[in-house]
Amino acid sequence: MDLSVFSSMLSVNGPRGTRREGKKFRQYAAALSTTIGPFAVGTVLAWTSPVLPMLQSENSRIPITADEGSWVGSLIAIGAIIGSIPAGKGADIFGRKPTIAALAVPFIISWAMIYFATTVWELYAARLIAGAVIGGVTATVPMYIGEIAESSIRGELGSYIQVKVTLGILYVYAIGPFVSYEGLAVLCGIIPVIMFVLVLLVAPETPTYLLRSGRRKEAEHSLVLLRGHEYDIAGELEELQQQLEEEQKRSSKFKDLISSRATVRASIAVMGLLSFLSFSGINVLIFYAESIFKSSSSSISPQVSSIIIGVLQVKFTFASALLVDKAGRRVLLLISDSVMAVCLGCLGYFFWLQEHAVDVSAFSLIPLISLGVYISTFSLGFGPIPGVMMGELFSPDVKGLALGIVCVIASLLEFVVVKMYQNLLDWFDHGITFWIFAGFCVLGTVFVWFLVPETKNKTLQEIQNELSGKKKPNNRKDNPKGNRKQHMMDSLTGDQTHAAIV
């Protein structure tokens, strides 16, 4: 299977040495227009929260069982595996911009199928299609943003992907309880239409793709559009050309993944982050938010509680976008996963007491507080940062194959977690189930401490050198002042990259 689709996910770091950066407005505008796709992804993820209680009610238009509901929730993970590879190949053949715009079509089809569905099998098919589009968005939007962004705002723009996902989730939480099944499908189906129009009107094609296609003049025009007319594009074009020439000289076969020390370390870090993200139970909480609050018998209605959770998720994901290039990746990940473990532990204890006939009416706000803090800290670190680091840790020559394999495995793990949630409830009930998720958060914190490097303020080449075990040079001929400044920053911020990688 050819997974070289991701191989062109290059970040634009500009020419070596010191230079004035370009203007940022058009980069922000282009990134925000393409992240309408992740907003649509958020609507797909959150749709089950208000709709499954409708479908499992006595007056349901499509009566389904709890087990069938778990399939409706989990099948999007299988669809994501199917969709990521064709979308990525399309981005290489037809361009990033037209491929992202075209993803709106199957999105609209899936919502139309949900609107007209009369059987659970039609829902299964619609969710598979929606999952395939999620895979396509996951493969193409980070690729696009990585290729238009300057390194100084690369982390921030990459984090906007998760911000838009959370906005999509909040959108469904806010309107879902107050509209009909059909009305929700229509309101969600409008989003891909907006995505199609905005991407075509606002987003330019990436300079990297245009250079790969031999369209240098168009690549120059794209860079001027993204950086401003006062920006000297010559140095950046030269470096991009050199990166592409080096990439063409290298292969991206599986043996390259296991023969390179840097790639092995990057694979361990990325796969671990995505695995612990899945086993933290985040998608279970998003998919079944209303049902969980209903089971807790909270004094606040499940619908209002879900909206509060959605608002917190948006707020703290946006905060992460502002902090990720300042505070660093590792510190946010460590704070995030450790606090998540405590929150899930408290939530599990609340349900354990409730399930053992202990009166918990005096603590009825514990579920909302626990999940509120959980989702806030998740959104600050473990939500957006793994996606940012996926584009930073792999070298361009193996990035396509590595990320392809990693995304397939991560999607399978997500399917297992979401599908098994109902089984865990049947076997253990809510208390022990949430303790299991808490245990994985503890393991995730340990994993980040020992195996995840810090990539803040480092170029892609510096990251590769450190993953390979190469020592930092004491100075650089091309920019000794900049290097000394970076060394001082590393010392002040306690850069623990070498200690973090084993």
Tens-level pLDDT at each residue, the chain (502 residues): 333 333 333 333 443 433 467 788 889 999 999 999 999 999 999 999 999 989 988 888 899 998 899 999 999 999 988 887 788 788 888 999 999 999 999 999 999 999 999 999 999 999 999 999 998 898 889 889 888 888 778 778 877 888 899 899 999 999 998 999 999 999 999 999 999 999 999 999 988 889 888 888 998 898 888 888 878 778 788 888 887 776 666 555 666 667 778 888 988 998 999 999 999 999 888 888 888 898 888 778 888 999 999 999 898 888 887 787 788 889 999 999 999 999 999 999 999 999 998 988 888 889 999 999 999 999 888 888 887 787 778 776 676 667 777 778 888 888 999 889 988 998 999 999 999 999 999 999 999 999 999 988 787 778 888 888 876 655 444 444 444 444 433 333 333 322 222 2
**DSSP characters over 380-394:** HTTTTHHHHHHHHHS
CA dihedral angle for residue 253, residue 255, residue 259, residue 262, rounded to 10 degrees: 40
Closest to 50 measured CA to CA, from 175, 177, 182, 168: 177
pLDDT digits (tens, 9 = 90+) for 119-164: 999 999 999 999 999 988 988 898 898 888 887 787 788 778 888 9
Q: Is the dihedral of CA 119, 124, 125, 126 positive or negative?
A: positive
- Whether pTM > 0.85 for this model: the answer is no
Give, as one character, the DSSP assignment of residue 11: -
CA dihedral angle for residue 397, residue 399, residue 402, residue 404, rounded to 10 degrees: -120
Q: Is the dihedral of CA 300, 303, 308, 313 positive or negative?
A: positive
pLDDT digits (tens, 9 = 90+) for 445-476: 999 999 999 988 787 778 888 888 876 655 44
Q: What is the Cα 461 distance to its own chain's centre?
A: 23
C-alpha distances (whole Å) from 127 to each of 107, 437, 460 are 10, 25, 37
Is the distance from CB of 310 to CB of 323 less than 8 angstroms?
Answer: no
Token pair belonging to 427: 């076997």
Q: Three-class SS string for 400-427?
A: HHHHHHHHHHHHHHHHHHHHHHHHHHHH
Cα separation, 498 vs 502, in Å, equals 8
12 SS3 class = strand
